[in-house]
Amino acid sequence: MRVLITGSRGQLGQALQSHFSPSHQLTLWSRPEHDIAQPSIADALAALAPDVVINAGAWTNVDAAESSPDAAFAVNSLGPKYLAEGCARCGAALVQISSNEVFAGELGRFYREYEEPGPGTVYARSKAAGERAAGRVLDRLYIVRVAWLYGPGGSNFPSKIGAAADKHGKLRVVADEFGNPTYAPDVAAALERLLAGERYGIYHLVNEGWASRYEWAAELLRLSGRGHIPLTPIPASEWPRPAMPPAHAVLVNQAAAAQGIRLRPWQEALAEYVKNEAPKA
Ligand SMILES: NC(=O)c1ccc[n+]([C@@H]2O[C@H](COP(=O)([O-])OP(=O)(O)OC[C@H]3O[C@@H](n4cnc5c(N)ncnc54)[C@H](OP(=O)(O)O)[C@@H]3O)[C@@H](O)[C@H]2O)c1
């Protein structure tokens, strides 16, 4: 398959690159040369005419989006629209990566693919608008929602928790925000299988199970030999942010699982990440 990866320098982009090479013919695009927020990206894509485009590019600074909504919408909403336009012109399929945060995230709710989004923050609204914008242009479209993504070499929750634990010797972590810790290399592997089936639609590719931020941090510390570091659970209200995330935007993989595509439990994936990547205490 001829696969184009946009936003290829991010943590998912890197994981896709590792997984899809060398068995597929890869083209890697990143900004500033290939800025998905520019309408001309559609022309460049149509000229390249790949089989599949995986858009791993996004405005991912959730807090900064609150004060720069136009810039966030340009990347997260117009970007997928332009890519979908380019795909429509050359017959390519598009994988638009989206987020668990498109859901309102009410406590106790578990969100399957058919649920209606109810985005709260600017970032979440921009991602939900990106899903709709691509869907209006293209039929050969996969909307792939992921959650709490981390991967080798990225700046992410596990890497920050490890660094903060070493710096401060103790931690306070939010215990009433829940999600699916999801390992980017596992998403890449699942995506390859999904693409082989050519069943377009909405998918939730997350590692099995869910956790609070506190539980995720505790498991990371335990696995990385830092289990002795005191960890205090706190409510999200004691960790105010410009963009308050949904409390329980926990995804369920129903649609890919129906095709036999499941990601392993999050604890197993985290153990592999720690073994390979995280600096030990
Ligand atoms: N991280 C999470 O917890 C999480 C959770 C749910 C969903 N997601 C979604 O998963 C996807 C991948 O996230 P990630 O964690 O891999 O993000 P990431 O590491 O922040 O990577 C995003 C990439 O997008 C690039 N980018 C930004 N603006 C661009 C533009 N205008 N044109 C082209 N590329 C642009 C960035 O370029 P630079 O390298 O130049 O900055 C970066 O390489 C995104 O769609 C995100 O919304 C992530």
Mean pLDDT, residues 129-156 taken together: 96
pLDDT in the model for residue 154 = 82
Asked if residue 140 has its Cβ within 6 Å of ligand 1, the reply is: no
Q: Is residue 161 part of a domain?
A: no
Q: Is residue 58 part of a domain?
A: yes
> What pLDDT is stored for residue 279 in this prediction?
54
Ligand 1 pocket residue status of 247, Cβ below 6 Å: no
Domain of 95: which CATH number?
Answer: 3.40.50.720
Residue 49 falls within a domain, yes or no?
A: yes
Task: Specify if 16 maps to a domain.
Answer: yes
Average pLDDT of the chain, as a whole number? 96
Euclidean distance between CA atoms 273 and 252, whole angstroms? 22
Beta-strand pair 141-146/201-204: parallel
Residue 214 bears catalytic tag = no
Tell me the residue range of the domain where 28 lies: 2-154+180-209+250-264
Q: Is residue 160 part of a domain?
A: no
pLDDT, tens digit, for every residue of 172-230? Answer: 999 999 999 999 999 999 999 999 999 999 999 999 999 999 999 999 999 999 999 99
Task: Give the number of domains in the chain.
Answer: 1
Question: Within a domain: residue 106?
Answer: yes
- The arithmetic mean of pLDDT across residues 85-110, rounded, is 97
Domain for residue 278, yes or no? no
Query: Mutate which of 27, 33, 45, 60 to test ligand 1's pocket (most atoms within 8 Å of Cβ)?
Result: 60
CA of 15 to the centre of ligand 1 (A): 12
Residue 165 falls within a domain, yes or no? no
Return the pLDDT at 215: 98
Residue 234 binned pLDDT confidence (cut-offs 50, 70, 90) = very high
